[in-house]
Structure 1
């Protein structure tokens, strides 16, 4: 693999994909995948009515948010969102590693975190948490509960990934 002269920050790539799936790929100069992810994100937003549901959620009209969202299309969004961030981060790691070293990077990072994010967001989107506690009423909105459970899933996924990485490293050291 040839050396790439341009430094790419993995966290910058991930944050660009957080802003809009596909932007991190454009940052990494992965134009075809970036445009595909942007197109897919726009299609999912249009068919799932996600932005309209988000608007109703911010206005506190959670019943209207549930009514307007198309869950069949909305369930695709978390996987596109998480994959875009995961791929952009890992691609930037490969670019940075190939710039600094003459070897290829074979490890991927944050797989558990982004898998947990996807699972948590899907669970939160489909499982409506009806709480009557004023501080937690935002969980009645499908988008907010998806984001909230997505963050919990991301944390759990990352902890599980770290646990298994530690177990793998300790078994290598004992052999």
Structure 2
């Protein structure tokens, strides 16, 4: 007898959402959330001119990249992106626990990383045009700056989450 929702790899779900928000949800068979995330990604991408900014960034035309980005919409993208990855990972984990007969866990995974990722990407995207950043030429690119700050703050968030979780776990054991 086949299960309606067979085992799903957490990492495959996460990486599908890295490719495009919503794809990880399709992998997990969470179609409603997947469609909503895909629609939001499309609207935000269109309104923020993200593809144009990426093309100009990769061509090295910083002036045109700075002029074409719409920050009012662009600052929403990291939130959708981070949430899609986080939700796909945790949904696959919950699905696998259900298949193994385990109860629902009270904690989520990688929350600190994705919170840090979203804050860092927003910070990097918004702050890429400062005089301090222009000293290091690579960080003057709107997209690269957001990704770099996102990864740095994501790693810091993950370390903080691990430290807090271990501390909480020790308290509950005693």
The match for 1:100 is 100
Q: Distance in 2 between matches of 1:59 and 1:40?
A: 27
Cα distance in 1 for partners of 2:170, 2:104 equals 24
Structure 1: which 5+ runs fail to align?
Answer: none
| TM-score of the aligned structures, taking structure 2 as reference length | 0.93
Stretches of structure 2 that go unaligned for 5 or more consecutive residues are none
Q: Post-superposition shift, 1:106?
A: 2.7
Residue 4 of structure 1, CA deviation? 5.5
Q: Deviations over 1:75-111 (max 9, x none)?
A: 0000000000000000000011111124223321011
Q: SS of the residue aligned with 2:25?
A: helix
- Map of 1:61 onto structure 2: 61
Over the residues paired in the alignment, what is the CA RMSD in angstroms?
1.3
8 Å contact from structure 1 (residues 26, 34) kept in 2: yes
Please give the alpha-carbon distance, in whole angstroms, between the structure 2 residues aligned to 1:72 and 1:117: 19
Note if 1:139 corresponds to 2:135: no
- 2:50 aligned with 1:47: no
Does the Cα contact within 8 Å between 1:4 and 1:98 map onto a contact in 2? no
Q: Is the 8 A contact 1:98 1:105 kept in 2?
A: no
Q: Give the paired residue count.
A: 169
